[in-house]
C-alpha cells in the first residue's frame, strides 16, 4: 500500500510539475509567431495594466498616490531569466508584490529587498524590491502585480507607457476623487496607437489611456532622454479640499518655487568656515570678474562631484560649509557653495534650478519632473553669468550644451524669475595639423591637436580622469583614433589641467603602412580617419551629439624632388541640414596641402535623417580614401 501511495505521489508531483511549467499550445503558437516578427527580443508584455488612485492621509495631512501595476509576460524565445524590480525611497513604499503562472496560481518566489547600489550614486536612500523570474520554455507565462504608494503626491510625476519589453496592449487609468484637482499632460503620443477615455465612476473621474504595440525602450549610447522619445504622461496634482478648506499643491510655477525656496531657506550657512579661503582667492584681484573666476575655478578644481539622493536631500542642498570641509558634494551642494563664496567676496549671487537637455520640459507647468540640476548665477555689470561648477574645466562665461538655451529658475529672495541661459556661441573645435615628409617606407613628421570650447572641456575631462601611468597611451589613442599603423610620441611636459580658451597638444608622428612603391610609383594613403562610429545603418534610436562641433584636419606633405603627382584626388563640397563637409587637395611649391572640415549644424539626428547622415559620411569616406599617386620623373 505504501508503494501505491508513493507511486500516486510521484505521479501527482510529475503532473503538477508539468502543469506548472508546460505552456499551452496556444501560447507556444503565439510565441513562435512573435519570435519570427521580433527575432532579437526575448519577452513581450502581452498585457500591462496600471491603476493610479489617490487618498488623503489624515495623519500626515498629505495626499497620497498609489500605483498598482500588473505585467503579463510571455517568453517568445528560449529559456530566459530576469529580475523584476520596483524602486522606492523614504518618500514611498512598496506593498503588494505577487507572481502568478499561466494557470493564474500564485508562485512563492522570494521578494528581495536591498539598498540600490549604483556606481554614480555616492549616497542614496533608494531601495529596490525585486524577484527573480524564470521562463523555462518558449511560451512560458508570468504575471507580476506590484503596488507602490507615494506618501506625498508631488513625488508621483510621470508614467511611461513604454517598457524594457514590447507591450502588445495596455492601459493606464487614473481614478480622481472629487476633492482633488489633477491635470494630466501628454507627451510623444504621435505615431503610437493610444486612445484616451474619460468616464465617471460614482463621484470619481476616471481618465484611461489604452494603447497597443508599444515598442521596447532601447539602450544605445548618445540617445536623447526618454522624455523626448517615449509616450508618457505628467501628473499634476494642483490642489485638494478637506473639510471645506482648499489647499494649494502645485497649481502654478510659483508654488513649485515656493517649495524649493522653503528647502534652501532652511539650509544653515556659516560663512566663517570658508571666509579665509575666499579672502585668499580674491587677495590679488583687481576686478570683480577676476574674483568670480578664481572662486568658480576653485570650486571646480577642489570639490569632487558626487550624486546624492536621500529623501528630501534629493532636493535640498547640503550646507555650504559642509561641502567646503568635506571637499565633495552633489550639484546642489556645489551650487550653494559657489553662491555662498561669491557672496562672501561681496558679489551678488543666486541659486538656480534648471532642467538639462535630457528633459523635454520647460517651466510652463509646475512639476518636480521639469528640472534635474542646480547651478549658481552671478550678477555682474548688469549681466547674469551662469556658473555650473560640476562642469570641470569649463571657462567662466561659457555654457555647456546641456544647459545652453535652457530655461532656468533664478532665486531672488522670496521671488524668482525664469530666464534662458544664453546660447553659447563659442566655437567647439577639434583641429589637427600635420607637417609630413616621406622617409623610405613611412611618412613622418610633427603634429598638433588644438581643442577649443566644449571640445577642450571634453578632452581635459577624459585625460585627467585616467591615471598618469596610462595618460601617454590614452593621448596616443586620441590622436591616432586607434589606428595600429600610426604611432605618436607626445611632447614632454604636456599639462592637461591648464585653463584657457584653447589647448594644444604637440607630438611626433609616424605612419608605417600608409605608403607603398611599385615600379617607381608611390601610392599614399594620407588620411587614416575612420567614420565607423558615425555609421547609423544599424541604429534604432535618434542620436544626440554631445555638442555641435567643427572637426578640421590640415595636412602638409612635402613631395620628394624626384616625384610628381599624376593626378590630384577629387575634393568634396557637401551641405545639408545636418552638416557641412569640405575636402580639398592643392599643390604649391612641391607641398601637397590636404584640408578636411566637418561642421555639425545640429545636435539631434532623428531616425528619419539617418539616410542623409549615412550618405554624407559615405561620400566623405570615399573621398578621403582616395590614394595620392606619385610617379618618378
Q: What pLDDT is recorded for position 313?
A: 52
Residue 574, in any domain of the structure: yes
pLDDT tops 70 at residue 441: yes
Supply the CATH number for residue 598's domain: 2.60.120.1130
| Same domain for 122 and 97 | yes
Q: What pLDDT is recorded for position 104?
A: 86
| Same domain for 209 and 91 | yes
| Same domain for 206 and 85 | yes
* Contacts for 301 with CB less than 8 Å, ≥ 6 apart: 392
Residue 8, in any domain of the structure: no
Report the percentage of the chain scoring pLDDT > 70. 94
Residue 568, in any domain of the structure: yes
Q: What pLDDT is recorded for position 212?
A: 97
* Domain final residue, candidates 225, 248, 271: 248
| Same domain for 544 and 404 | no
Residue 437, in any domain of the structure: yes
Cβ(368)–Cβ(91) below 8 Å: no
Residue 6, in any domain of the structure: no
Report the percentage of the chain scoring pLDDT > 90. 77
Q: Given pLDDT bands bounded at 50, 70 and 90, which one contains residue 484? A: confident
> In the predicted model, what is the mean pLDDT of residues 252-279?
97
Residue 528, in any domain of the structure: yes
Residue 15, in any domain of the structure: no
Torsion of CA 336, 337, 342, 348, to 10 degrees: 10
Contacts 24+ apart (CB under 8 A), 461-469: 461/392, 461/393, 463/496, 464/392, 464/393, 464/496, 464/497
* Domain final residue, candidates 214, 248, 282: 248
| Same domain for 142 and 36 | yes
pLDDT tops 70 at residue 120: no
Q: What pLDDT is recorded for position 103?
A: 86
pLDDT tops 70 at residue 58: yes
| Same domain for 282 and 322 | yes
Range of the domain at 151: 25-248
pLDDT tops 80 at residue 194: yes
pLDDT tops 50 at residue 392: yes
Residue 11, in any domain of the structure: no
pLDDT tops 90 at residue 431: yes
| Same domain for 414 and 441 | no
Supply the CATH number for residue 318's domain: 3.10.620.30
Q: What pLDDT is recorded for position 465?
A: 86
Supply the CATH number for residue 39's domain: 2.60.40.3140
The structural domain count of the chain equals: 3
| Same domain for 396 and 301 | yes
| Same domain for 392 and 313 | yes
| Same domain for 170 and 56 | yes
What's the mean pLDDT when you consider all of the chain? 92
pLDDT tens, position by position, 72-94: 999 999 899 999 999 999 999 99
pLDDT tens, position by position, 270-323: 999 999 999 999 999 999 999 999 999 999 999 999 876 544 557 899 999 999
Q: What pLDDT is recorded for position 3?
A: 43
pLDDT tops 90 at residue 116: no
* Domain final residue, candidates 363, 398, 420: 420
| Same domain for 274 and 234 | no
| Same domain for 182 and 87 | yes
One-character DSSP codes across 471-502: HHHHHHHHHHTT-TTEEEEEPTT--TT--SSE
Amino acid at each position: 500500500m505504501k508503494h501505491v501511495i508513493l507511486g500516486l505521489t510521484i505521479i501527482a508531483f510529475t503532473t503538477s510539475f508539468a502543469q506548472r511549467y508546460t505552456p499551452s499550445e496556444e501560447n507556444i503558437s503565439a510565441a513562435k509567431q512573435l519570435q519570427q516578427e521580433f527575432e532579437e527580443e526575448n519577452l513581450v508584455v502581452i498585457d500591462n495594466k496600471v491603476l493610479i488612485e489617490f487618498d488623503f492621509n489624515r495623519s500626515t495631512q498629505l495626499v497620497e498616490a498609489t500605483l498598482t501595476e500588473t505585467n503579463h509576460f510571455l517568453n517568445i524565445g528560449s529559456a530566459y531569466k530576469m529580475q523584476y524590480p520596483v524602486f522606492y525611497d523614504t518618500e514611498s513604499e512598496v506593498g503588494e508584490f505577487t507572481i502568478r503562472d499561466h494557470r493564474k496560481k500564485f508562485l512563492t518566489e522570494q521578494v528581495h529587498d536591498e539598498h540600490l547600489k549604483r556606481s554614480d550614486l555616492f549616497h542614496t536612500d533608494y531601495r529596490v524590491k525585486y524577484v527573480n523570474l524564470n521562463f523555462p520554455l518558449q511560451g512560458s507565462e508570468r504575471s507580476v502585480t506590484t503596488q507602490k504608494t507615494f506618501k506625498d503626491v508631488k513625488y508621483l510625476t510621470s508614467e511611461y507607457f513604454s517598457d524594457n519589453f514590447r507591450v502588445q496592449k495596455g492601459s493606464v487609468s487614473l481614478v480622481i476623487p472629487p476633492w482633488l484637482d489633477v491635470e494630466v499632460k501628454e507627451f510623444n503620443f504621435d505615431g503610437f496607437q493610444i486612445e484616451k477615455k474619460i468616464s465617471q465612476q460614482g463621484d470619481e473621474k476616471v481618465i484611461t489611456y489604452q494603447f497597443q504595440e508599444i515598442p521596447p525602450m532601447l539602450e544605445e549610447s548618445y540617445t536623447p532622454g526618454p522624455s523626448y522619445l517615449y509616450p508618457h504622461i505628467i501628473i499634476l496634482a494642483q490642489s485638494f479640499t478637506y473639510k471645506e478648506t482648499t489647499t494649494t499643491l502645485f497649481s502654478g510655477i510659483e508654488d513649485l518655487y515656493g517649495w524649493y525656496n522653503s528647502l534652501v531657506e532652511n539650509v544653515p550657512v556659516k560663512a566663517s568656515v570658508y571666509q579665509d579661503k575666499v579672502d585668499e582667492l580674491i587677495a590679488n584681484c583687481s576686478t570683480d570678474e577676476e574674483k568670480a573666476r578664481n572662486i568658480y575655478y576653485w570650486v571646480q578644481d577642489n570639490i569632487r562631484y558626487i550624486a546624492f539622493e536621500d529623501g528630501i536631500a534629493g532636493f535640498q542642498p547640503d550646507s555650504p560649509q559642509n561641502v567646503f570641509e568635506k571637499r565633495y558634494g552633489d550639484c546642489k551642494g556645489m551650487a550653494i557653495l559657489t553662491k555662498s563664496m561669491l557672496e562672501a567676496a561681496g558679489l551678488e549671487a543666486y541659486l538656480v534650478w534648471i532642467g538639462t537637455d535630457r528633459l523635454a520640459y520647460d517651466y510652463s507647468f509646475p512639476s518636480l519632473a521639469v528640472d534635474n540640476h542646480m547651478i549658481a548665477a552671478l550678477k555682474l555689470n548688469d549681466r547674469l553669468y551662469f556658473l555650473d561648477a560640476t562642469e570641470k574645466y569649463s571657462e567662466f562665461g561659457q555654457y555647456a550644451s546641456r544647459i545652453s538655451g535652457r530655461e532656468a529658475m533664478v532665486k531672488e529672495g522670496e521671488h524668482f524669475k525664469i530666464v534662458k541661459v544664453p546660447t553659447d556661441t563659442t566655437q567647439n573645435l577639434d583641429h589637427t595639423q600635420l607637417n609630413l615628409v616621406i622617409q623610405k617606407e613611412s611618412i613622418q613628421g610633427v603634429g598638433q591637436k588644438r581643442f577649443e570650447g566644449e571640445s577642450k572641456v571634453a578632452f581635459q575631462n577624459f585625460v585627467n580622469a585616467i591615471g598618469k601611468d596610462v595618460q601617454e597611451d590614452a593621448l596616443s589613442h586620441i590622436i591616432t583614433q586607434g589606428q595600429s599603423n600610426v604611432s605618436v610620441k607626445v611632447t614632454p611636459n604636456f599639462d592637461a589641467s591648464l585653463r584657457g580658451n584653447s589647448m594644444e597638444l604637440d607630438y611626433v608622428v609616424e605612419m608605417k603602412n600608409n605608403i607603398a612603391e611599385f615600379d617607381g610609383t608611390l601610392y599614399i594613403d594620407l588620411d587614416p580617419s575612420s567614420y565607423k562610429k558615425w555609421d547609423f545603418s544599424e541604429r534604432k534610436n535618434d542620436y544626440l551629439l554631445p555638442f555641435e562641433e567643427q572637426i578640421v584636419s590640415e595636412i602638409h606633405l612635402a613631395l620628394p624632388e624626384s616625384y610628381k603627382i599624376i593626378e590630384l584626388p577629387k575634393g568634396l563640397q557637401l551641405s545639408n541640414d545636418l552638416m557641412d563637409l569640405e575636402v580639398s587637395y592643392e599643390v604649391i611649391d612641391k607641398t601637397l596641402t590636404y584640408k578636411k572640415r566637418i561642421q555639425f549644424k545640429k545636435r539631434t539626428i532623428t531616425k528619419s535623417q539617418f539616410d542623409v547622415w549615412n550618405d554624407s559620411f559615405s561620400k566623405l569616406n570615399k573621398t578621403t580614401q582616395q590614394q595620392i599617386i606619385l610617379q618618378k620623373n
